[in-house]
Amino acid sequence: MNPRSLFLMMLLAAVAGCGGEAGPNPPRGGGPAAGGPGGGPPPEVEVIQVSRGDAQITPELPGRVEAVRTAQVRARVEGIVERRLFTEGSEVRAGQALFRLDDRPYRAAAQAAEAEVEVKRIQLARLESLLPMKAVSQQEVDLARAQLKQAEAQLARAQLDLENTTVPAPIAGRIGRAQVTEGALVGRGEASLMAVIEQLDPVYVLFTQPNAEVLRLQAAIAAGQVRPSERPMVELILEDGSVYPHKGRLITRDATVDPTTGAITLKAEFPNPRRQLLPGTFVRVRMPQGIVSDVVRVPQRAVLSGPQGQYVLLVGEENKVTPRPVKVGSMAGADFIIEEGLAGGETLIVKGLQKARPGMVVVVRGLRTEDR
């Protein structure tokens, strides 16, 4: 046998020997752990017991915050800005000086107007003294008197221009950033915008509601299906999802429908003592509109959406998760009113939804009252 054949036989024998070895125990760490799918314990979920009762229809409507009053601070005369007299973002009072312009040209003009008035007054006095002696005519005296009045009017205008070199706050409120800086020429050709003041306590919230919803609610009230609410206090939901601590009141409702959106614009007023609500902020408004009886309501977070529509997850016998299709109606605060799918008495999952799957066994925990 040649050396090459001998080497191949030894290699085959070594491979066969390695493949035939088997230990008494399987390898560790490769198999799934005991206790449930994925090797973990059953997931914990929090539930509530669904019940029937009265519910306040409270839709959430999109809105925007507006200042009660907004004033634009503008230069009334032409001039160079010498000094800004306020702190940007601060509260100012009505009449407070905000800017000072170079007043030297206007001061000189006012002094010249004063001198002109004095000259006209002296001329009139001289002519009036000569009138009894027939040295001058009555027409000359009347003309001098008119010239005096004209000079006095020019003096009043010059003094007003001099006063306008100090730019005051037209209203009280919070002033924004300055639109001009020292050295800027303002008032040439038009009244220059220098700053904006907004009154922020209280504030207005403008929000819209589809006219179709209004008509549907009115029909339900007329049919006795919904009891009308008393004049409601309005709630505000901020951009981070939190509820604004102060409630507002509905002020006005437009008498026309926007033809582009089919919606009606409403206005509510909210107190804003901490200046938490700023103009331009997007918010959601909860406005009570009616009371319905003997309905099922569930937390909004408990309703899921899938390819077949909306559904909830129930816990049935042996704590097994079961999906249930539902039809969602109006809002009731932070809850949905369920029109179809739940009769009351079901055990509904409200927390841990991301861990629960249909057919899975779960560990049930009660839901705290304040969470709802």
Whether residues 270 and 299 share a domain: the answer is no
For residue 324, is it within any domain?
yes
272 close to 202: Cβ distance less than 8 angstroms: yes
Residues 6+ positions from 53 with CB-CB distance below 8 Å: 293, 294, 295, 297
Whether residues 111 and 144 share a domain: the answer is yes
For residue 11, is it within any domain?
no
For residue 50, is it within any domain?
yes
Reading phi first (left if > 0) and then psi (alpha if -120 to 50, else beta), residue 68 is in alpha
pLDDT tens readout for residues 152-163: 999 999 999 999
Tokens 């799934």 -> residue: 32
Q: What domain range includes position 283?
A: 60-67+200-292
For residue 258, is it within any domain?
yes
pLDDT tens readout for residues 293-317: 888 888 888 899 888 889 999 988 8
pLDDT tens readout for residues 174-224: 999 999 999 999 987 677 889 999 999 899 999 988 888 778 777 877 777
For residue 87, is it within any domain?
no
CATH number of the domain encompassing residue 324: 2.40.420.20
Whether residues 305 and 287 share a domain: the answer is no
For residue 362, is it within any domain?
yes
pLDDT for the residue numbered 232: 67
Whether residues 276 and 312 share a domain: the answer is no
Against a cut of 0.75, is the pTM above it? no
Whether residues 155 and 230 share a domain: the answer is no
Whether residues 367 and 301 share a domain: the answer is yes
Q: pLDDT-derived band of residue 80, with 50, 70 and 90 as boundaries?
A: very high
- What is the rounded CA–CA span in Å between residue 3 and residue 271? 101
pLDDT for the residue numbered 38: 54
pLDDT for the residue numbered 127: 87
pLDDT at 96 over 50: yes
For residue 26, is it within any domain?
no
Domains identified in the chain, total number: 3
pLDDT for the residue numbered 26: 37
For residue 90, is it within any domain?
no
The phi, psi pair for 97, rounded to 5°, reads -70, 130
Whether residues 288 and 312 share a domain: the answer is no
Whether residues 303 and 253 share a domain: the answer is no
Whether residues 251 and 209 share a domain: the answer is yes
- What is the rounded CA–CA span in Å between residue 195 and residue 206? 24
